[in-house]
Structure 1
Amino acid sequence: EAEGPPRPSKPEHYVPGLEAKHFWHSSDFPLAADLEAASSVLAAEISALRSRSDGWKPVGQHTRQGDREVVEQGNWTDALIFRMGRFQEETCAWLPKTCEILRRHPEVTANPMGLALISELAPGTEVREHLGFSNARITFHLAVAVPPGEAAGIQVAGDRRSWQEGRVLVFDDSFPHAVWHRGPQGSGPRVVLLVRGWHPGVGQEER
């Protein structure tokens, strides 16, 4: 077992020996650098998608069905970009630069667990602690819209962080994690581009 913080429980799919961290440095990942470098363009694309698209669904329709069960209150919705080896071309029509960047990263696109979507938390939303499917993947959040102050946040195994617009948070969702938006109704949603790719310790022969 690689060194890392203790796990209260193991995910459904567990690969022993992988380095374990609640949060990773975004500078360790070329994908995060690409997303941050283009963040203003991506934010404009996502803003247009949010205002004009009907592709938004409650969480659990584009992801695992159990995801909807962890929403204690409020609204958690998403718009799918990539899943199960396929881009949603109608979404990519709204997000050309976003999809162009993702297509350059096989750790996402050539990954059975690869995923990309826009995730939106409405004010007053609480998502209780839950566990991701596998420790062989890493989750990236590019913050697109964040309410003022620290109204919205994420906690991974007790380690609490807030999003910063234009920056990427990188974390291991196989640890218990929760998210929330405790701002007032007029504070606007928390919007992130969520991407999942391989854990860097998963070798080519294991992919």
Structure 2
Amino acid sequence: MLSTSDLVSRIQKLMSSNSLEEARPLCENLLRQEPNDIYALTTLIQIDLTQNNYNQVIFYCEKLLAIQPANLQLHQVLARSLEQLSSSDPSGSSLATVLEKLPGAYSSRLLYGRALELQGDMFGAGRQYLKAVKTAQAKGFWLNEASTAPWCRQYVAYALGFINKYKVNLGYQWLEPLWQRFGKTEMERVTKAIQMYTGERPLVLADPRQQPNYLYVPDLPLTPVFDRNVLSFAEQYESATTSIQAELKQLQEQSKDFKPFQEGEEGKSLTAGGAWDAYFFYRHGKTYTEHLAQCPATAQALSQLPLVHIREHAPEVCFSIMQPHTHILPHRGATNSRAVLHLGLDIPDHCRLNLPGIAELSWQEGKIFAFDDTYLHEAWNKSDNTRAVILADIWNPYLREEEQIALTELIEQIGLLNQQTKAVLS
């Protein structure tokens, strides 16, 4: 096998003698050895440009731009090649092939979206425009005029407008079957929530202190802390406290699978002074079957709760352990469609959950409370002992069953859309 330097030397000689087709396999060989070799990529672009192989030019340009994103000359070559390929292949099939190999090629995806739109595939175009914009912006491009190459500014501006209409239309596509099943009147709050999410309706918060970072359901009673009388399961759940405490104690004695509630940098930014650990029964829609089997009394008690079961989203249910002198820093939750339910298990003095400017709550052993975590909240354990509760995501008690069903389906649809975009970004 020839070394990298020998390959480069041979390619240079062949290019100087205009032996392009002999140089091509050597460039490809060099790329197999060094997948991001700039000289090989640049030379292949040069070779394919002379032969009007625009799909290959685009492929190698996109690959090189991932290494040299600010190369303006390369952007210009890509722009001309995309325009040529769009004319010769209006179906966009060649661009689709490029994207299969390079899903992060946001410029090619932008033009692929345009091809789909011209063919009348509006939802397909919307998906591609959305993926293109999110991918570019995640890499620091298309955030404003300065971060957008001149050739594609008009395309990006158009795509942004199209995305707004696409999201509105997508919202109606999601809502129509729900209106047919339950009626528009029954779905009024859900409809407004989706219209706010898609941007058709402005996001207007009834209480500005309440700031969900995912989905807001309007017209619900403003209840930062829920009255006990709307939690119909309260006494039954509290009656299981002794059995739940016994299972928690057994786990702690066996050092069973307690992990940081949030790992990595996110976890570090969420706590100060001590540690916040958890033993999960459910998280992000995943069921921890072994953990439920380990704690049958707890599992039985949880099965009686109105937990929010949404694929890949909810619920979050766990033994929540605050080590001594831990401060869980102020933060907010995702949506007011849920309430966060706490049952006190092991509660030393000097422990509080605080909703700044609203209420300071004290856990009590064997007692529950539920709050709306879209309000800013924090918690602390200023004692020398461990604080333990079991927390669970339940439906906001003021949502009707039909609304719970509708929101489950809608959040899964939103999640699928976001998942498709994340697959491109990863």
TM-score normalised according to structure 1 size: 0.85
State how far apart, in whole Å, the 2-side matches of 1:135 and 1:65 are: 26
Give the C-alpha shift of residue 77 in structure 1.
0.6
Compute the displacement of 1:74 (Å): 0.8
Q: Does 1:138 align with 2:335?
A: no
> What residue is the counterpart of 1:147 in the other structure?
348
Equivalent position of 1:169 in the other structure: 369
Q: Quote the RMSD (CA, aligned, Å).
A: 2.3
Q: Distance in 2 between matches of 1:193 and 1:84?
A: 17
Contact 1:102-1:109 at 8 Å conserved across structures = no
Q: Identify the match of residue 192 of structure 1 among 356, 365, 389.
A: 389
Q: Which whole-Å CA distance do the structure 2 matches of 1:103 and 1:65 have between them?
A: 33
Q: How does 1:5-154 map to 2 (within 5 A)?
A: 6-8=207-209, 10-13=211-214, 14-61=216-263, 66-105=266-305, 107-108=306-307, 110-111=309-310, 112-148=313-349, 151-154=350-353
- Secondary structure, counterpart of 1:100 in structure 2: helix
Higher alpha-carbon deviation: 52-61 or 163-172: 52-61
Q: Higher helix proportion, which one?
A: 2
User: Relative contact order (alpha carbons < 8 A, sep ≥ 6): 1 or 2 greater?
Assistant: 1
Q: What code does the residue aligned with 1:196 have? A: D
AA aligned opposite 1:103:
S
Bigger radius of gyration: 2
In 2: Cα distance, 1:81 partner to 1:44 partner: 16
1:67: Cα distance to partner? 4.9
1:34 Cα shift?
A: 2.5
Q: CA deviation at 1:40?
A: 1.1
The one-letter code matched in structure 2 to 1:146 is: I
* Residue 101 of structure 1: how far off its partner (Å): 2.2
Q: What 5-or-longer segments of structure 2 have no aligned partner?
A: 1-188, 190-204, 409-426
Instruction: Tell me the percent identity.
Output: 25
- What is the letter of the counterpart of residue 116 of structure 1? V
1:5 Cα deviation after fit:
7.9
TM-score w.r.t. length of structure 2: 0.43
**Between Structure 1 and Structure 2, which shows a larger proportion of strand residues?**
1
Tell me, yes or no, if the aligned pair for 1:48 and 1:94 is still in contact at 8 Å. no
